[in-house]
Amino acid sequence: MTTGSRGRVRHMGDSSSSRGGGPIRHVPRTVNSSTSKTSFPYTLNSRSGDSRSLNQHHGYAGSTSHGGHMDPLDDEDDDQFASGKVHRAIKIMFTQKHNGVWLTWKEVPKDVVDKAFDIFKTKYRYDPSCHYATREAFENVMKDRYPDIMSYWRTSSRKKARDAGHFIPPKKHNFKVICDYPPKGVDLDRWRKMCEAWDTEKWLQRSQCARKNRMSADSSGAISRHTGGSMGYDEHRIVLKRNLGRDPTFKELFFATHLTKDSKKKFLSGECQSMEELIFCTARSKEAYGAYETDMLKKYGKQHDDSDLWVGKQGGSGTRIFGIGSSDPQFVVTGKSSTIESGPLIAEYERSQKRVQELEARIETMENQLTQVIENERQARDQEQAQFKEMLHQQMIAFMKQFGQAPVWFTWSVLAVLFGFEGHCFSLFYAFIVKLS
């Protein structure tokens, strides 16, 4: 495996440029094995392990993972933007190993994730020192996309059922019908079990509530949250930097993803800069940035970007923040990775993970040794018992030859002495019978 001085991940057998990401601590830039172009840079957030520990730099299906971010490449690099290619590949790898009735990510067994990651390792190479962060990035991508995979399967099944002549209202689930039309790659028996698990009052209510939230409009009646399309905010920042030749301000990034098409052109061309002259996609977008800008002027008195202030102002809950989504707030707002401030934590994380792995290996070795000792002792006991039985057998033969002419009752009495209480009882009974006779 060949890695650059900055710890590069190389894709094996892919000649096209790949863009995308997850947190690979400082690995960050993946390079195609067949070209010198950058593939997918990653970086690990200090909040490793929580819902924002990965910034998949957006990836496929128009969503980003949570947390870290994909650092922009150096100026001399050709591809200074993120891509979803790696993330789509991860999604395919995972679905190939999906063979159970798991409705949520929490239900997926670890061994299934391990098998999917084994496939990943055959297609991409990375700095061994970044193994744990790479694995975490891989898992976070799958975790983030899992609901979309389930949704895609249900949609595909509904389409197959409709094509077969069944009537299913738009946006409605009829699991009793679609259970007979599994999506591609899912066997019929497993699909029927999944449909049965979905077809519960609890799940249907939760699904309806989630759809209602997605379709809810703001005060202006608009449903659309932004105009950035399927590209993540972190990826938009990298594209803007590439186009502008410098790091964009948060204002430029926010306007590029929340203005209408015409207003966006006017703003980026420099024709107008005032918020009053621009038209936002939603009233909330305009109100949110206006409140942020006011607080920034109060705090700094000049143009400045503050990720903590934006997050605090929006009061976001869960894993998504308005205007940022699930990307790393520090990177989206300021262009600086939160990883920069968390170097010691990342190093400690890597060391602790290595220690855990070493301890697990030692425990496994000790367990194997103990198992071997127990097995050896068992075999030794079995051998001793076999030898003892053989010795008794030989003694019995010799005894029978020596006392073959003795009375029967005497013979059995001797046997009782040799073979214990049971033999003694039997010999007494036998002697009694002989005496009676």
Q: Which distant-in-sequence residues (6+ apart) come within 8 Å of 91 by Cβ?
A: 60, 141, 142, 145, 149
Q: Inter-axis angle of helices 250-258 and 233-244, to 10 degrees?
A: 110
Give the pair of three-digit tokens for residue 148.
Answer: 């979309």
The whole-angstrom separation of Cα 222 and Cα 8 is 43
CA nearest to 23, candidates 63, 60, 64, 74: 64
Pick the closest to residue 139 from 15, 51, 255, 260 (CA basis): 51
Q: Do 64 and 57 meet the contact criterion of CB atoms below 8 Å apart?
A: yes
Q: What pLDDT does 11 receive? A: 47
Please name which of 276, 284, 239 lies closest in space to residue 258, comparing C-alpha atoms.
284
How high is the pLDDT of residue 109? 92
* Other beta carbons less than 10 A from residue 167's beta carbon: 8
Q: What pLDDT was estimated at residue 195? A: 94
Q: CA–CA separation, 252 vs 66, rounded Å? A: 22
CA distance 268 to 284: 21
Q: Give burial (CB, 10 Å; 0-12/13-18/19+) of 162.
A: middle
In angstroms, the CA 321 to CA 215 distance is: 17
Three-state secondary structure string covering the chain:
CCCCCCCEEEECCCCCCCCCCCCCCCCCEEEECCCCCECCCCCCCCCCCCCCCCCCCCCHHHCCCCCCCCCCCCCCCCCCCCCCHHHHHHHHHHHHHCCCCCCCHHHCCHHHHHHHHHHHHHHEECCHHHHHHHHHHHHHHHHHHHHHHHHHHHHHHHHHHHHCCCCCCCCCCCHHHHCCCCCCCCCHHHHHHHHHHHCCHHHHHHHHHHHHHHHCCCCCCCCCCCCCCCCCHHHHHHHHHHHHCCCCCHHHHHHHHHECHHHHHHHHHCCCCCHHHCCECCHHHHHHHHHHHHHHHHHHCCCCCCHHHHHHHHCCCCCCECCCECCCHHHHHHCCCHHHHHHHHHHHHHHHHHHHHHHHHHHHHHHHHHHHHHHHHHHHHHHHHHHHHHHHHHHHHHHHHHCCCCCHHHHHHHHHHHHCHHHHHHHHHHHHHHHHC
Q: Torsion angle, CA of 231/235/236/237, rounded to 10 degrees?
A: 160
Q: What is the gyration radius of the CA atoms in the chain, in angstroms?
A: 35
The residue type at 331:
F
What is the pLDDT, as a whole number, of residue 400?
64
Can you tell me the distance from the alpha carbon of 171 to that of 279, in angstroms, rounded to the nearest whole number? 31
Q: Distance between the two ends of the chain, CA-based, in angstroms?
A: 92
Which pLDDT tens digits describe the chain residue by residue (437 residues)?
A: 333 333 344 444 443 333 333 333 333 333 333 333 333 333 333 333 333 333 333 333 333 333 333 332 233 333 222 456 777 888 888 888 888 999 889 999 999 999 999 998 888 887 787 788 788 888 888 888 888 899 999 999 999 999 999 999 887 888 999 999 999 989 999 999 999 999 988 888 887 776 665 555 444 444 445 455 556 666 667 777 777 787 777 777 777 776 777 777 777 677 766 666 666 666 666 666 666 566 555 555 555 544 444 445 455 444 444 444 444 555 444 555 444 444 455 566 667 777 888 888 889 888 888 989 999 999 999 998 888 888 877 877 776 666 555 565 566 566 566 555 555 555 555 555 555 55
Number of Cβ within 10 Å of residue 265's Cβ equals 11
